[in-house]
Amino acid sequence: MPKIILRSPDGNTHTVDARVGASVMETAVKHGVPGIVAECGGALSCATCHVYVSDSCLERAGAAEDFEDEMLDDATSERRPNSRLSCQIRMSDELDGLEVEIAPEQ
Amino acid sequence: MDTVTTETETGTLIVGAGEAGLGIAVALRNAGYTAPVTITGLEADPPYQRPPLSKEFLAGEMDEENLLLRADDFYQDKDLRLLTNAHIEDIVLDEDSAGGTATTSAGHAIHFDGLALATGASPRRLPVPGGDLDGVCYLRDIPDARRLRTLLPGATRVVVVGGGYIGLEAAAVARGRGLDVTVVETFDRLLQRVAAPPISEFFRTAHEKRGAKVLLGASVTALRGSAGSVSGVELSDGMVLPADLVIIGIGVEPRIELAQKLGLDCGRGIIVDDAARTSNPAIVAAGDCTMQPHPLYPTESICLESVQNAADQAKVAAASLMDGPRPERAVPWFWSNQADIRLQIAGLSMGFDDYVIRGEPGTEQFTVLYYRDGRLIAADAVNNPHDFMAVKRALAKGATIDPTDAHNTGLPLKTLIREI
């Protein structure tokens, strides 16, 4: 199982096992990782699962597609070049060890 | 047998294991509630997401495991006791406390100190002959969706009864598989109950453009069958639409039986105040089973059947159970995905007396803003997330957007937000 390392706004780091095919958001919520709200459950409708992908993983995680890109413009926390909505990052074996920081405000 | 076989004690009993039931449990724990919490659910599955059942799950793009809202160990870690396949048949309240005893149909007694109802809603049944033929499906829970997913590959002609969100989403999935799809709607436009005419017209055109047929003002009088399986849908004008799969999406009925047994005030749903308290202030209720004051027009009562409401009202209900301050209510919002169209809805458009169309519906990217007494109350944004987010923000701070400028797509909506 690929692992995800999430840094929560409270400063704690959580390492969780993800199923291949599950999104980063789903995995974090299922395990009760604090900081990801994910109001819409992954429907790309709320921008409350905003994360910053660590530089070393950026290329592997890929870039936001159009709709996600527009939603990110209106996210509550500052948008950065490494901003993604975590519901749109699907886990694969290639993404094992993915490191993300959860945006402070959702 | 009526014999009570087992007995357990709990702090709070939550009847219903959907989004609202789970939400109350999680909110109780987040607020520092330490007593035992028991969640009972009618279904075999632990709490899961319903919205994908008519979208990604039905389309085969998502599996069952991904539907689950929490991992198994979450319940253990948070010390939440989850009873699935559990039907609470009766509840007797203590005379001198907020507690009581619930009994399941299997004869299990649960003594509790506090009670929350999150009993959800059941799909409205189509009251016509032939409703029990094979190939007639509803779409509310995992078994329904699983069954439909199994039937779709063998189907050729699909009739969808009901032009609401569930029906249209299912129609889009079936059409996406290349099936012959007809949507039958009683009213003279789609989404009649929830959207303005331009949105209704847009979705009719969009589905027709993608190859589905849409019949408006058509009511179903019978489902015909041969050898036990559905073969056609008979309409009131005598026309028969051939069909080997019929999907019925004609709305839901809040489950209020238990609330009625408890003597709680009910309308269409269980009546609650803005703190999610029922007419017995010790008992709270949240989610699809409730009827609550309209956030902007509190003298009006509304049923809000949405994930957002379930999650939001659950937090309010948990705060009331703990006698804590009422959390701020979020702006109601909804979404629907149909083929490659993403509709996002902010606010509640019911009761609108004016609307503004922003953008050209023919481009499949536009927004309808709804007004009441000159004040912005809601928007439907089609493939237009910036507009959706701007309206959600405006409504959250009680602001409005001037209707005279709103149609101008050269001006970003967020620059038009102004205080009332």
Q: In this predicted structure, what is the pLDDT of residue A46?
A: 85
- The whole-model pTM stands at 0.95
> Which of A24, A31, A45, A70 is best to mutate for the B interface (most B CBs within 10 A)?
A45
Residue type at position B262: L
Mean pLDDT across the stretch B54-61? 94
Domains and CATH numbers, chain B: 12-122+253-321 (3.50.50.60), 125-250 (3.50.50.60), 340-418 (3.30.390.30)
- Per-residue pLDDT for B114 more than 90? yes
Mean pLDDT across the stretch B246-274? 98
Confidence of residue B1 (pLDDT cuts 50, 70, 90): very low
Q: What is the mean pLDDT of chain A?
A: 94
Q: Which among A30, A44, A74 has CB closest to B386? A: A74
Q: Helix B197-209 crosses helix B165-176 at what angle (to 10 degrees)?
A: 20
Confidence of residue B146 (pLDDT cuts 50, 70, 90): very high
Window B:105-124, CB contacts with A under 8 Å: none
DSSP percent split of chain A into helix, strand, coil, nearest 5: 25, 25, 50
In this structure, what CATH number is given to the domain that contains residue A34?
3.10.20.30
The radius of gyration computed from the CA coordinates of chain A, to the nearest angstrom, equals 12
> Which of B388, B391, B397, B415 is best to mutate for the A interface (most A CBs within 10 A)?
B388
Mean pLDDT across the stretch B113-138? 97
Q: What is the mean pLDDT of chain B?
A: 95
In this predicted model, what pLDDT tens digit does every residue of B160-182 receive, in sequence order? Answer: 999 999 999 999 999 999 999 99
Domain that holds residue A55: 3-102
- Per-residue pLDDT for A38 more than 90? no
Count of beta carbons in the 10 Å neighbourhood of residue B20:
31
Displacement of CA B263 from its chain's centroid (Å): 25
Q: In this predicted structure, what is the pLDDT of residue B242?
A: 98
B29 interface with A at CB cutoff 8 Å:
no
Mean pLDDT across the stretch B218-224? 98
- Structural domain count, chain A: 1
- Per-residue pLDDT for B2 more than 80? no
Helix (H, G, I), strand (E, B) or coil at B38: strand
Look at A73 and B386 and tell me if their CB atoms are within 8 Å: yes
Structure tokens at B206: 């969009």
Look at B69 and A29 and tell me if their CB atoms are within 8 Å: yes
In this predicted model, what pLDDT tens digit does every residue of B360-398 receive, in sequence order? Answer: 999 999 999 999 999 999 999 999 999 999 999 999 999
Residue type at position A48: T
The residue to which tokens 């797509």 are assigned: B409
Mean pLDDT across the stretch B81-110? 95
Look at B68 and A30 and tell me if their CB atoms are within 8 Å: yes
Beta bridge partners of B98: none
